[in-house]
Amino acid sequence: MIHVPTIGQLKQLIAHLQAVVFPEYYPLTAAPQTLELPDAFWAEVPSISRLIHTDVDAVLHNDPAVSDLGEVILSYPLTFAMMHYRTAHVLYNLGVPRIPRMLTELAHSRTGIDIHPAAQIGDHFCIDHGTGVVIGETAIIGSHVVLYQGVTLGAKSFEYDEEGLPMNVPRHPILEDHVTVYSNTSILGRVRIGHDTIIGGNIWLTLDIPANSLVLQSNPEIRIKNKV
């Protein structure tokens, strides 16, 4: 039985995993002995490590401001957020209660990146800057996807059961491989964004987009007047 964890236990778990995944950058930290996790989780740690390394690699190949690998590992919010998310996702799939959501909320509070542990995210995932990114529970994201700050992958509406309670059905977007979404764009509902598509900033999108598309918003009229 999984007991209610403390924040200290969860932070120690992440510190332990950081040392396992990036031993050259983080000091060895023991796993929290008082936090009982399934053996199947520990068997998945190599997979977690592999995926996080692909995320770091994605930042190196998408952000010209990066000076070296260590800068990404030690200072980029993506690495911290994905360490929590990828750990939480494995625990969620194993049916562990409470801990997955607590882990992603810890990352959310520090980075401003809000990823539900049930969301499915492929390898080489890159979030640049990150503040205000929201990824909903049933979102599916392919490989080599890039999101910029303020992007929301959310639900457009909810379905309700006979008792008037919201139903947990697929309601968030699907982003195929090699999709880039620029800042402050909201993609809502169970829509599919085809592979190799670029979506510009400040767009409200609620429909499917075919592969190899470029989605842009028409330039608004800008008026400049003398203040006098």
pLDDT at 23 over 60: yes
Asked if residue 68 and residue 30 are part of one domain, the reply reads yes
Q: Look at residue 59 and tell me if it is in a domain.
A: yes
Tell me what pLDDT residue 209 has. Answer: 97
Segment 143-158 mean pLDDT: 94
pLDDT of 2 higher than 60 = no
What CATH number corresponds to the domain at position 151? 2.160.10.10
Question: Two tokens at 121?
Answer: 């995210």
Report the share of the chain in percent with pLDDT over 90: 82
- Please tell me whether residues 27 and 88 are part of one structural domain: yes
Q: Identify the band that residue 227 occupies on the pLDDT scale cut at 50, 70 and 90.
A: confident
180/140 same-domain check? yes
Say what the pLDDT of residue 216 is.
93
Domain that holds residue 178: 132-228
Residue 158 confidence class, pLDDT cut points 50, 70, 90: confident
- Per-residue confidence band for 222, with pLDDT thresholds at 50, 70 and 90: confident
Q: What's the whole-number mean pLDDT along residues 78-92? A: 98
> Number of folded domains in the chain?
2
For residues 170 and 87, state if they share a domain: no
Are both 151 and 227 inside the same structural domain? yes
Q: Are residues 137 and 224 in the same domain?
A: yes
Residue 212: exposed, middle, or buried by beta-carbon count in 10 A (0-12, 13-18, 19+)?
exposed
Is the same domain home to 160 and 221?
Answer: yes
* pLDDT tens profile 87-114: 999 999 999 999 999 999 999 999 999 9
pLDDT at 208: 97
Q: What is the pLDDT of residues 181-190, one digit of tens each?
A: 999 999 999 9
Q: What is the mean pLDDT of residues 169-196?
A: 97
Stretch (H or E) spanning 152: strand 152-154
Whether residue 160 is predicted with pLDDT greater than 60 in this model: the reply is yes
Mean pLDDT of 214-218: 90
pLDDT for the residue 93: 98
Residue 32 located in a structural domain: yes
Confidence band of 157 (pLDDT split at 50, 70, 90): confident
Euclidean distance between CA atoms 72 and 156, whole angstroms: 34
More confident residue, 66 or 196: 196
Whether 140 and 221 share a structural domain: yes
How far apart, in whole angstroms, are the C-alpha atoms of residue 104 and residue 112? 11
pLDDT confidence bin for 219, thresholds 50/70/90: confident
On the CB side of 12, CA atoms within 13 Å amount to 13
Cα–Cα separations (whole angstroms), residue 186 to 6, 91, 204: 34, 28, 5
